[in-house]
């Protein structure tokens, strides 16, 4: 038995996986809340992560009907790019700044100038640093909270912090490290000189965690944490990774030819590559995977946060919201929403705000606004998929995950806008499943088991045939016209 944890923006999910049968036996969850401000601040109290971890684990074990003593290893997936700062005693210094935080955009712009713009950043790091990446959060902390900055002893990402809580060891793996902005994806190493530019004393470089290969474990769970969670005190903790890297494993996207699209708080599209083919498009992040390769990826910062905002505005439950979407035609009778409530990364508009365009006295209704927000968020993913396609990625089929993937009408909209068949995996919590599969892989490596990652994915990842959705030719043509209008509106921004 293996425990998979996914610490996301809205909450933590846990699953119990029987790696022999490939079945998920139980799952649980615990909530998080955001600390938000109009200036783009998006932070979280990390104590909520620990409380949610405990709640989710208890629920998953109870639903599975198994003893925690049967858990052989734990894998942790975490929201990428977040910054967790610890002092010398291991205490958290301030709330974690998250992936969706755009308060540090000015600091990111200055660092990008230092690197020689997007082109210079791509040449040096293999990625173009963007607002939300970790590096600008460090410069922001130095300038806005110098007292906190002076006390930094450990710099961790969210999943690194949870691994530290579990084991007492500070480590990171290549996939999640790729999104920091101070990591070279080609050489798989920290760019210490960039941190020394922020602080010439070398203070930050000394605070970095040790880098691990994906199949390595961080170590054994601490006895007091095993007791707290009711787990096997001999259980090991795998290297873990970012939520997108774990989502790739959890959808079987560990070899060329697959594409995963996530309809979560953020929207992501990613594919596997066996070498670091860095795109000249700055919006394509050629991250490392957590399976030994690379993971070319685009990320939009507005997806279910935007659809939920409209749904809640009209006090609709999810079923009612889906019915409203279905009542409106393709293109929502000319209503177009640019849903940039958190600014936007792809397209690269960090300071943008949301807009509703094309309203008149005949089309201002609930159904059109509901459809417009779903179409607007999906157009952002199409924009990103086109960038991936331009860099050589093939999209013969899309594996769809995340909360939005549960909606049949949204699946059809995705298939039509992308002009590509889509299918969901049987288990919707792909990041938690990927974390559990990676835990089984690490445990097998340490215990001489013959099951490699590919075999584990074949056994544990299955597709939901009932969810398979084909694009409809006339819809594809209609959506191309609406998408062209969307692109024109972007140019105006």
Report pLDDT for 351.
84
pLDDT at 104 (0 to 100)? 96
Is the CB of residue 2 less than 8 Å from the CB of residue 451? no
pLDDT in the model for residue 487: 97
Q: What is the pTM of this model?
A: 0.91
**What's the pLDDT score for residue 305?**
92
Quote the pLDDT of residue 242: 96
Residue 154 sits at the vertex; the CA angle it makes with 164 and 169, to the nearest 5 degrees, is 25
| Domains, in order of start, for the chain | 2-244 (3.30.420.40)
CA distances to 177, 301, 334, 393, 474 from 371, rounded to whole Å, are 37, 19, 11, 29, 18
CA distances (Å), 264 to each of 32, 169, 287, 405, 425, in order?
15, 30, 19, 9, 15
pLDDT at 492: 87
pLDDT reported for residue 131: 87
Task: Note if 243 is an active site residue.
Answer: yes
Residues paired with 83 in a beta bridge: 97
| pLDDT (tens digit per residue) in 301-331 | 899 999 999 999 999 999 999 999 999 999 9
Q: Which has the closest alpha carbon to 192: 211, 208, 175? A: 208
Helices 105-115 and 117-125 cross at an angle (nearest 10°) of 70
Distance CA 234, CA 26 (A): 21
User: For the purposes of burial, counting CB atoms within 10 Å of the CB of 73, is it exposed (0-12), middle (13-18) or buried (19 or more)?
Assistant: buried
Q: Identify the active-site residue in 6, 191, 243, 416.
A: 243
Could you give the residue ranges of the DSSP H alpha helices within 286-403?
Answer: 304-313, 318-327, 366-390
User: How many Å apart are CA 368 and CA 379, to the nearest integer?
Assistant: 16
Position 392 scores a pLDDT of 85
Q: Which residues of the chain have pLDDT under 70?
A: none
The per-residue pLDDT for 451 is 77
| Residue 319: partners with Cβ closer than 8 Å, 6 or more residues away | none
């Amino acid at each position: 038995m293996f425990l998979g944890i996914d610490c996301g923006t809205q909450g933590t999910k846990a699953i119990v996986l029987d790696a022999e049968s490939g079945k998920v036996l139980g799952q649980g969850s615990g909530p998080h809340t955001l600390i938000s401000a109009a200036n783009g601040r998006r932070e979280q109290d990390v104590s909520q992560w620990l409380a949610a971890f405990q709640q989710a684990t208890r629920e998953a074990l109870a639903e599975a009907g198994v003893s925690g003593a049967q858990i052989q290893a734990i894998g942790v997936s975490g929201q990428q790019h977040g910054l967790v700062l610890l002092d010398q005693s291991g205490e958290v210094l301030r709330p974690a700044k998250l992936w969706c935080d755009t308060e540090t955009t000015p600091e990111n712009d200055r660092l990008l100038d230092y690197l020689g713009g997007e082109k210079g950043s791509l040449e040096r790091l293999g990625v173009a640093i963007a607002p939300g990446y970790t590096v600008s959060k460090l410069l922001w902390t130095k300038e806005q909270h110098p007292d906190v900055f002076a006390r930094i002893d450990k710099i961790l990402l969210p999943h690194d912090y949870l691994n530290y809580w579990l084991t007492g060891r500070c480590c990171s793996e290549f996939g999640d490290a790729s999104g920091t902005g101070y990591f070279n994806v080609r050489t798989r190493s920290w760019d210490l000189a960039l941190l020394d530019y922020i602080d010439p004393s070398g203070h930050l470089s000394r605070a970095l965690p040790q880098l691990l290969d994906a199949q390595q474990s961080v170590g054994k769970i601490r006895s007091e944490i095993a007791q707290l969670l009711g787990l096997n005190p001999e259980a090991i903790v795998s290297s873990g990774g970012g939520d997108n890297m774990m989502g790739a494993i959890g959808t079987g996207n560990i070899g060329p030819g697959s594409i995963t699209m996530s309809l979560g708080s953020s929207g992501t599209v990613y594919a596997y590559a066996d070498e670091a083919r860095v795109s000249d498009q700055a919006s394509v992040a050629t991250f490392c995977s957590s399976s030994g390769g690379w993971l070319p990826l685009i990320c939009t910062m507005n997806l279910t946060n935007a659809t939920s905002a409209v749904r809640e505005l009209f006090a609709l439950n999810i079923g009612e919201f889906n019915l409203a979407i279905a009542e409106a035609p393709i293109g929502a009778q000319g209503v177009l929403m640019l849903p940039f409530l958190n600014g936007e990364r792809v397209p690269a508009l960090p300071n943008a705000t949301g807009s509703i365009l094309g309203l008149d006295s005949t089309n201002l209704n609930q159904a059109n606004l509901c459809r417009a927000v779903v179409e607007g968020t999906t157009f952002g993913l199409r924009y990103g998929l086109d960038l991936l396609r331009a860099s050589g990625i093939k999209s013969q089929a899309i594996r769809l995950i995340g909360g939005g993937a549960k909606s049949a009408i949204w699946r059809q909209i995705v298939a039509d806008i992308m002009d590509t068949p889509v299918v969901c995996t049987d288990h919707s919590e792909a990041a938690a499943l990927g974390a559990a599969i990676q835990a089984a892989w690490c445990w097998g490596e340490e215990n001489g088991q013959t099951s490699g990652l590919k075999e584990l994915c074949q056994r544990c990842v299955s597709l939901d045939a009932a969810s398979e959705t084909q694009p409809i030719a006339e819809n594809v043509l209609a959506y191309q016209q609406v998408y062209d209008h969307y692109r024109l509106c972007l140019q105006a921004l």
